[in-house]
Amino acid sequence: MSGLRLIASYPKSGNTWLRAFLASHLRGGQPIDLNADLARIGTLTSRSLQDLHAGLEHADLMPPEVALLRPLTSRRIAQEQPGLYKTHDSNLVPPGAGEPAIPADAIDRAVYIVRDPRDVAISAAHHFGWSLAVSVDRMADASFRLGHSSTRLNVNVEQWVSSWSAHVESWLDAGDLHLLPLRYEDLLADPLEGFTQLCRFLELDDTRPAVGRSLEACSFSALAGQETRTGFRERYHASTAPFFRAGGAGGWRTALAPELAERLVAEQGRVMARLGYR
Amino acid sequence: MTDGLLCGWRVRSAIALPELLEWQGDDRPPDLTVRLGEVDESLPQGRAISPFLQIDSTGAGLLQVPMVGRFLVRQSGDITVAPQPGASDAEIRLFLLGSVLGMVCHQRGLLPLHASSVVIDGGAVAFCGHSGMGKSTLALRFARRGHAVVSDDVCVLDNGAPARVRPSFPRLKLWRDAIEDAALSPEGLERNRRGQEKFHFLEPEAGVRDPLPLRAIFLLRRASLDAKEGIERLSAPLDIVAALEAETFRPEIGRALGAERSLFQARALLASTVPVYQLRRQPDAPPERWLDAIVATVRE
């Protein structure tokens, strides 16, 4: 295998669920330890990984320099440490750079998970410790980025995320990628079908019993139960809820004030319609 | 401008280097000379060792930091800096006394560890770890207790036995939170980069001139959520050699310069003569509570 195999998504769209599934699946469907086994599908933007392959500390660089550096580092990782990685990077060219952080030639293939932005808004609010209104604002912010250091170090380097709509279209409309788009809602409605597709795309065991076993091992209750018992190291420090909070679809109908849901539709409606979110 | 002392070298620099102690040694010619001048965008016959760095067959290195400048580092110790317009003095010194220092070590066959170090009982104690693991923060806490700072980021080992550290300079790079947590203020400190909340904290009275025996190395690690915090000595020399390889500053430069064997030997010497410990703690654990344990461990 050469090149990066990406699990890409806007934040809070089901990425960790897929990673948990894959972590179990790569171990023959065994139960996983959230705080150890998810590392099988590493975070591409992890500061130590990026520092190592860049030969520089990103903490000593300014955002435009990081934007110039990241595509070069992505190519090095693709060559020297290829494999499965998760990312929240958009496939857009950040200010100051000439290409996206993960250029197409560094990517072997990419899975892109998309989720109804009204549910994303709720999940993101809990995760980042935002109000729902701030969450909706951020999702419309074309210059939204993650990993930016202010007064302390972030465990990830900078990622140019942009708005929810721009993020989704940057990946799903990329003509130069071997891409599998998945909707979170479809995975929930028929997990066996969706995850079988995922396994086939990633050239993993896609037989029904194997996929079923791994799905069982990373069921929502298994993951949430483990978080209750041992904690989850990827939970954000300002978070106001467990990382594995609800794991459902359509929660926005009761949890999101109608005016916020309307604002989201006004701002993201065109792309929502392309994905069938009505 | 008077010459400075860096890792035992006499440094003559066209750029003021307030981090360095003054040279008080013999009247030898400078070991390192820093000039301002033009630097081409690439080295003829250079090859890219990492995204912003090239090395050529003479062992010269070219580092380019987009908003700071180009640094041409020759084997002879001749260093030419071409700053970018708008680069601050602190930004230029950040890379000169960081990446460039690391390159000079590799050119001279010395092992640079990615570590901060302080003096404990007359010897150097080094703290290694990734960005964010608290190397400089621990060094700051020791400095506030009166321990001299031997190095920050790049800890240079002398060749040969016993293992000794060549002191660099008493400057620590610290985030605002780390400074304020130590009841200090970043007011008046130079910023690491323009607009960044990371500062250069200088303890000018706390510098060290002469090489010091290396008494211990602590590898700073994050404890997993359900694991105990604590200090544990590594015992298998090969594990230690492997761990120290990961803590080597810019190992790719050493490899490119054909120094792999001398680097291995230097790490093997450390593994057999210097105690190496893992210090596992929770992220954001207060550094203060580890100081006594570290001193006690060193004295064991």
For residue A229, give its domain range. 4-116+153-234
User: Above 70 in pLDDT, residue B111?
Assistant: yes
Query: How many angstroms separate the Cα of B50 from the Cα of each of A53, A73, B46, B61?
Result: 7, 8, 12, 11
Beta-bridged to residue B12, according to DSSP, are B33
Specify the 3-state DSSP secondary structure of B80.
Answer: strand
**B76-88 tens-digit pLDDT:** 999 999 999 999 9
**Cβ distance of B67 and A65 shorter than 8 Å:** yes
What is the overall mean pLDDT for chain B?
93
Residues sharing a CB contact under 8 Å with residue A67, sequence separation 6 or more, in sequence order: A94, A95, A96, A97, A101, A158, A160
pLDDT greater at residue A153 or residue B127: B127
Judge whether A145 and A158 are in contact, CB under 8 Å: yes
Chain A: residue nearest B283 by CA?
Answer: A233
What is the overall mean pLDDT for chain A?
92
Could you tell me if B175 lies within 8 Å of chain A, comparing CB atoms? yes
DSSP type of residue B98: I
| Out of B52, B131, B173, closest to residue A69 by CB | B52
Q: How many CB pairs under 8 A join A and B?
A: 85
- The mean per-residue pLDDT over the stretch B253-258 comes to 94
Q: Is residue A82 part of a domain?
A: yes
- 3-state secondary structure string across chain A: CCCEEEEEECCCCCHHHHHHHHHHHCCCCCCCCHHHHHHHCEECCEHHHHHHHHCCCHHHCCHHHHHHHHHHHHHHHHHHCCEEEEECCCCCCCCCCCCCCCCHHHEEEEEEEECCHHHHHHHHHHHHCCCHHHHHHHHHCCCCEECCCCCCCCCECCEECCCHHHHHHHHHCCCCCCEEEEEHHHHHHCHHHHHHHHHHHCCCCCCHHHHHHHHHHCCHHHHHHHHHHHCCCCCCCCCCCCCCCCCCCCCHHHHCCHHHHHHHHHHHHHHHHHHCCC
User: Above 70 in pLDDT, residue B225?
Assistant: no
- The mean per-residue pLDDT over the stretch B195-213 comes to 88
Q: At what angle do helices A117-128 and A132-140 cross, to 10 degrees?
A: 120
User: Above 90 in pLDDT, residue B282?
Assistant: no
pLDDT under 70: residue ranges of chain A: 1, 149-151
Q: Classify the C-alpha dihedral B179-B185-B191-B196 as positive or negative.
A: positive
Could you tell me if B47 lies within 8 Å of chain A, comparing CB atoms? no
Could you tell me if B51 lies within 8 Å of chain A, comparing CB atoms? yes
CATH code of residue A173: 3.40.50.300
Identify the pLDDT of residue B204. Answer: 67
Query: How many angstroms separate the Cα of A74 from the Cα of each of A44, A49, A58, B188?
Result: 8, 10, 14, 38
Q: Which of A35, A57, A156 to mutate to test the interface with B (most CBs of B within 10 A)?
A: A57
Q: Which of A77, A108, A99, A100 is nearest to A161 (CA)?
A: A100
Q: Which of A133, A149, A26 is nearest to B193 (CA)?
A: A149
Identify the pLDDT of residue A149. Answer: 67
Q: Is residue A46 part of a domain?
A: yes
Confidence of residue B226 (pLDDT cuts 50, 70, 90): low
Q: Which tokens is A71 given? A: 């595509």
- ipTM of this predicted complex? 0.92
Could you tell me if B93 lies within 8 Å of chain A, comparing CB atoms? no
Contacts of A59 in chain B (CB under 8 A): 131-132, 192, 198
| Out of A51, A56, A59, closest to residue B52 by CB | A56
The H-or-E segment that residue B271 falls in is helix B260-273
Beta-bridged to residue A159, according to DSSP, are A146
User: Above 90 in pLDDT, residue B61?
Assistant: yes
Task: Count the domains in chain A.
Answer: 1
Q: Is residue A186 part of a domain?
A: yes
Specify the 3-state DSSP secondary structure of B103.
Answer: helix
Q: Spell out the domain ranges in chain B.
A: 4-299
Q: Which of B55, B130, B228 to mutate to test the interface with A (most CBs of A within 10 A)?
A: B130
Share of chain B above pLDDT 70, in %: 98
Cis peptide before B237 (omega within 30 of 0): no
Beta-bridged to residue B117, according to DSSP, are B126, B151
Q: Could you give the CA distance from residue A29 to residue A180 in angstroms, rounded to a whole number?
A: 22
Share of chain B above pLDDT 90, in %: 86
Identify the pLDDT of residue A234. Answer: 80
